[in-house]
Amino acid sequence: MFGRNELIYMIDKLNKYDESMTEYVFCKMNTLDERLKNYTPTEIIKMITIGFEITDDYYKFDVNNQLISLSEYDYNKLLNDDKDYIVSRYYAMLDKLDNE
């Protein structure tokens, strides 16, 4: 029923509302150099976790400032697996906003 773009839209709106969906926010890998330009090589090495793959499509920093990467397939799977949760949280937010 809801596709990837709709889920990303819902995640964005929820994060703007209460930052409750940050675990679903990933950046395209082609923006990594710009994002890391103010870090030293040592700081960057400390951020890299086991399993981080530069060939993946997406990355993010976790709560411990560690780099995490996901392939396009894995990102889509994450969104699809959690679709019901994302949609229910989005509708709950809309209901709450309507009642304020």
Residue 49 confidence (pLDDT): 83
87 token code pair: 């949609």
Residue 54 confidence (pLDDT): 95
Residue 100 confidence (pLDDT): 75
Q: Is the pLDDT of residue 87 over 90?
A: yes
Q: Is the pLDDT of residue 86 over 90?
A: yes
Task: Tell me the β-bridge partners of 48.
Answer: 67
The DSSP call for residue 51 is T
For 17-56, the pLDDT digits (tens) are: 999 999 999 999 999 999 999 999 999 999 998 889 999 9
Give residues with Cβ within 8 angstroms of 89, minimum separation 6.
10, 14, 20, 21
Residue 50 confidence (pLDDT): 85
For 48-82, the pLDDT digits (tens) are: 988 899 999 999 999 899 999 999 999 999 999 99
